[in-house]
Amino acid sequence: MADGLLSYLAENSLALGRQTLEHIGLTIASVAAAVGVGLPLGILCIQSRKAASVVLSITGILQTIPSMALLGFMIPVLGIGALPAIVALFLYALLPIVRNTFTGIREVEPSVTEAALGMGLSKWQLITQVQLPLAMPTIFAGIRTATVINVGVATLAALIASGGLGETIFGGIALNNTAMILAGAIPAALLAIILDLLLAWIQQLNLYKIRSRSWFSIWIVIAGSTALLLFSSFQTSFRAGFTPEFMGMSEGYPGLQKSYALKLNTVVIQSGLMYNALHAGAVDVISGYSTDGRIREFRLATLEDDKSHFPDYQAGITVRQEVLNRYPELQPVLEKLSRKFTDQSIIELNYQVDVLKKSPASVASLYLDSLGLLNPAASGKAGIIRIGSKIFTEQYILAEIIAQLIEGHTELAAEVRAGMGGTQICFEALQAGAIDLYPEYSGTGLEVILKQKHLLHKSLKNDSATVYNFVNEQYQKQYNIRWLPPLGFNNTYALLMRNDQAQQLKIRTISDLSSFISGKVQVNR
């Protein structure tokens, strides 16, 4: 593991250096803004009990909002990039700073306050010359807490194209690459420790004796890092938004660089946000999925893979052999779905959920009914089958279809555990017995689980049936997991653009995109 980590660090030192600087910038900018707002709010809380109740309640509520939800709230208003991340991190940092300012000033001895007022100090002089200096240890404890919190939360900001070490961490999680995870996690942990120690050192200084020139230098650093982040966020050059998994996997962006000599300005973005970001013009090309219903919704252009770079991703049901042995009635029922889907039918199902906002369960019922496979649920007394799914629409629909099919054709009950995460999480849950089956794709199994992508264009000849059979054989041999016959559709990767932009730039294939980039776009990242 150590050798793999050192090798990854050596090969990706420039990218990790950039991500570290972005991470520092996000943290410093957000905490500085929180200090600028939080200190006055803490002082206001001392002056008014009513204000204290309102301010502390609001900042407390903000702290309880899940990190991804808070980032999600920012996107409709501020788009993607550094700005929404800084605003979200700023809101997270407010509570410890406001609360500690309020607590620190309130705990100043009343006798000291009375003595200062007796000497003729005004309220402002009392605050700035007596209460704040005495409360500074408590205030700094709040700033240190906010800083450490924001270093951690800033990793999530990578999912909205804000950069930072989260790009490497989430890429490693998606690809089950321990070295990649550690290459992002270790610098993030060290960064939290270093910033905390730096603030502890500053705390020991007499802040009121530091020259104004020194304070000016500090604020120049803060303003500069913020401006740099915002500039990179708003740059108008041609940009691509890719998921962490696509950025790291060999058949993703690294493979496109080799197959097509494609070099893009890239930002990492969560899969659920990609399509909206493309539609809104925040990015110009994304790594989508060929069966996604949002292609139809946003009228996107799918660039032709004219060099056959992307392998087939034939969908199938993966199930533990132990489960099939325990419930022999299960396999023939599940095989009723074999070849019952096409690329167009799954696009339509995705469209109904993503665009028409129907529930996956209702869409599943209608589709089973159209196939003549919808039956009322039986007793469910024979046992429980736990069905997992990844965290995107198509998987939710497939999980519901499988569950309703099982309950309608057997005496088994089905329990859907939707949105479990990425490939590795679902696979490990299947191995560990936390779930009994889940839908998977042959190309994903070949690369992410078996790590045999190099065989694709060699012994497997990039033939979909050969790949599917090979993956099934290896799963049975290595993990005692079966792939049931294919469902019939191929959900492969695709590069997508806005249709009007693709037509305007005369980009029809990935080769056209590569030619356009190499000829007309200066790459900054």
Interior/surface letters 408-447, b for 16+ CB within 10 angstroms, e for the rest = bbbebbbebebebebbbbbbebbeeeebbbbbbbbbbbbb
pLDDT tens, residue by residue, 263-279: 888 888 877 778 888 88
Which of 21-35, 227-241, 460-474, 506-520 shows the lowest per-residue confidence on average (mean pLDDT)? 227-241
- In which residue are the tokens 């570290």 written? 20
Neighbour tally for 405: CB within 10 Å: 21
Domain ranges of the chain: 1-233, 239-308+494-524, 314-491
Task: Name the packing angle between helices 67-78 and 82-106 (round to 10°).
Answer: 120
> Which pTM was predicted?
0.66
- Confidence band of 376 (pLDDT split at 50, 70, 90): very high
Q: Given the DSSP bridges, would you call strands 315-320 and 265-268 parallel, antiparallel or unpaired?
A: unpaired
Question: Among residues 148, 137, 56, 45, which one has the least CA distance to residue 94?
Answer: 56
Query: What amino acid is encoded at 169 in this protein?
Result: I
d(CA 72, CA 266): 20
What is the per-residue pLDDT for 212? 45
The confidence score (pLDDT) of residue 524 equals: 40
Domains 239-308+494-524 and 314-491 agree in fold: no
Q: Which CATH number fits domain 1-233: 1.10.3720.10, 3.40.50.620, 3.30.565.10, 1.20.1250.20?
A: 1.10.3720.10
Architecture of domain 314-491: Roll (3.10)
Q: Render pLDDT for 85-131 as a digit per residue (tens, 0 to 9).
A: 888 899 989 999 999 998 988 888 888 777 877 787 777 777 777 88
Residue 206: how many CB atoms within 10 A of its CB?
8
d(Cα 138, Cα 151) in Å, to the nearest integer? 20
- Beta carbons of 45 and 56 less than 8 angstroms apart: yes
Tens digits of residue pLDDT in 383-401: 999 999 998 889 999 999 9
Domain 239-308+494-524 sits in which CATH superfamily? Osmoprotection protein (prox); domain 2 (3.40.190.120)
What are the DSSP E strand ranges found in 115-264? 239-242
Torsion of CA 404, 406, 408, 414, to 10 degrees: -60
What residues have CB less than 8 Å from 239, skipping those under 6 apart?
264, 265, 266, 267, 282, 283, 284, 285
Q: Hey, which of 1-10, 115-124, 193-202, 339-348 has the most confident mean pLDDT? A: 339-348
